[in-house]
Structure 1
Amino acid sequence: MNITAYLKYIPLFLLSGLIFVAGCGVQDPDGYNRQGVFLDSQGKNDEAIWNYKKALKIDPHNKDAHYNLAVAYHKKEMFKEAIEEYKIVLGLYPYDPETLYNVGALYARTNMIDEAIPMWEKAVEIKPDLTEAHLALGGAYSQRRMFDKAIKEYKKILEKNPADAVTHNNLGVAYSEIGLLNEAIDELSKAIKVNPNTAMTHKNLEYAYRKKGMAEEADRELKIFEELSKSEK
């Protein structure tokens, strides 16, 4: 029986500064960049891209414009173009944790987990409190069955946010995979206490109970899972 680790949506970071709605000066790359951010916030992605490109035509080394253009391409699933822009940013600022994180997210979106992992590792080395990167690393390590490393990442997240139900679930799954069933049950129970309506957490807890030989508890969790699954359809 498989158990499921839920991964939160991997967000992207957008560099904005102040957002001005007013028009841009003829030779004002920062103004075009800010206008692009505003348009992006309005869902006008193509117009935002035009402004970022305009900023870069004036100032080819404008880090923020390259970064935001990469994010805009990323949102449009223009992955090749996005990675090229991110590489330019890293060439200008090789120790930018948000850029490293986003490159990892891009690799992950294209199923290049082995390439994503070192990006996220470097990001948390530079910025240890970058929760999104710790979460992404935990999921990536779990996919590669590197559960000891995944557990360390999930624990770091819970130190900062002990009420994170998704991370408690993921930590419980990792413990189950390496046979630490008491720890798994404890973490999955914490996840359910925070959010009792996630069906797969009950399924994961059922699996842990079943492996431990606690049939009555396992049957109870299976029943809850089945009831919640019906309501989710």
Structure 2
Amino acid sequence: MQLLTALFLALALNAAPAFADGDSWSSPPTAIESADYAAGKRAAEARDWKSAIDAFGRVVAKEPGNAGAYNYLAFAYRKSGNLDLAFKNYREALRLDPKHRGAHEYIGEAYLMAGNVAKAEEHLKILDGLCRFGCPEYDDLKKAIADHKAKPPR
């Protein structure tokens, strides 16, 4: 019985999603969040994409290994309509952290914006492997793909 309890506990702990900062951007947070990082998050929450780009640009200049900052930077570029720079920064986030669930979700959404459903589905498949017991990033990208496919062609 103790073995079953230990096994169940180990599985439950392994299945718990690792959210950074209480959101779905899943790179582990740095030990101390920089002022620029915090300013970038506030700007992104306020949908001030230029300020978010500026702040996260400063973060990645100082911390070139920060996958979470590259993901946020890419997100701000995507939301501002600059898909080229969004893709560049999502790719860097994924190069630094190939298991970054948020970057996989958001690059998939960027591919949908670019009309490339097949590439979005590739990232959904990767998320399916990363999220053994499900995760919000998988669910959100799956829904975005379904919604995209349901839209009538222009």
The equivalent of 2:64 in structure 1 is 60
Deviates more, 1:90-99 or 1:40-49: 40-49
Deviation at 1:42, TM superposition (A): 2.3
What are the within-5 Å matches in structure 2 for residues 168-187 of structure 1?
none
Please say if residues 25 and 101 of structure 2, whose CA atoms lie closer than 8 Å, have aligned partners that are also in contact: no
Stretches of structure 1 lacking an aligned partner (at least 5 in a row): 1-12, 19-27, 144-169, 171-233
Deviation at 1:58, TM superposition (A): 1.4
Please say if residues 27 and 100 of structure 2, whose CA atoms lie closer than 8 Å, have aligned partners that are also in contact: no
2:85 is matched with which residue: 65, 75, 81? 81
Greater Rg by CA = 1
For the residues of structure 2 that align with 1:14 and 1:29, how far apart are their CA atoms? 14
Deviation at 1:134, TM superposition (A): 3.1
Give secondary structure in 1 for the equivalent of 2:40: helix
C-alpha deviations, 1:10-66, integer Å up to 9, x for none? xxx557999xxxxxxxxx873211111112222322112111111122121222211
CA RMSD of superposed structures (Å) = 2.7
For the residues of structure 2 that align with 1:17 and 1:45, how far apart are their CA atoms? 23
CA separation of 1:16 and 1:74: change in aligned 2, threshold 3 A: same
The equivalent of 1:134 in structure 2 is 142
Q: How many residues align?
A: 121
Give secondary structure in 2 for the equivalent of 1:94: coil
The equivalent of 2:99 in structure 1 is 95
The equivalent of 1:109 in structure 2 is 113
For the residues of structure 1 that align with 2:144 and 2:55, how far apart are their CA atoms? 31
Please say if residues 124 and 141 of structure 2, whose CA atoms lie closer than 8 Å, have aligned partners that are also in contact: yes
The equivalent of 1:121 in structure 2 is 125
For the residues of structure 2 that align with 1:134 and 1:14, how far apart are their CA atoms? 16
2:55 pairs with 1:47: no
For the residues of structure 2 that align with 1:49 and 1:69, how far apart are their CA atoms? 6
Please say if residues 36 and 52 of structure 1, whose CA atoms lie closer than 8 Å, have aligned partners that are also in contact: yes
For the residues of structure 1 that align with 2:143 and 2:129, how far apart are their CA atoms? 14
Give secondary structure in 2 for the equivalent of 1:61: coil
Structure 1 length as normaliser, TM-score? 0.46
Stretches of structure 2 lacking an aligned partner (at least 5 in a row): 1-23
For the residues of structure 2 that align with 1:51 and 1:62, how far apart are their CA atoms? 13
Please say if residues 77 and 85 of structure 2, whose CA atoms lie closer than 8 Å, have aligned partners that are also in contact: yes
Please say if residues 15 and 67 of structure 1, whose CA atoms lie closer than 8 Å, have aligned partners that are also in contact: no
CA separation of 1:94 and 1:75: change in aligned 2, threshold 3 A: same
* Structure possessing the higher relative contact order (Cα contacts under 8 Å, 6 or more residues apart): 2
Structure 2 length as normaliser, TM-score? 0.68
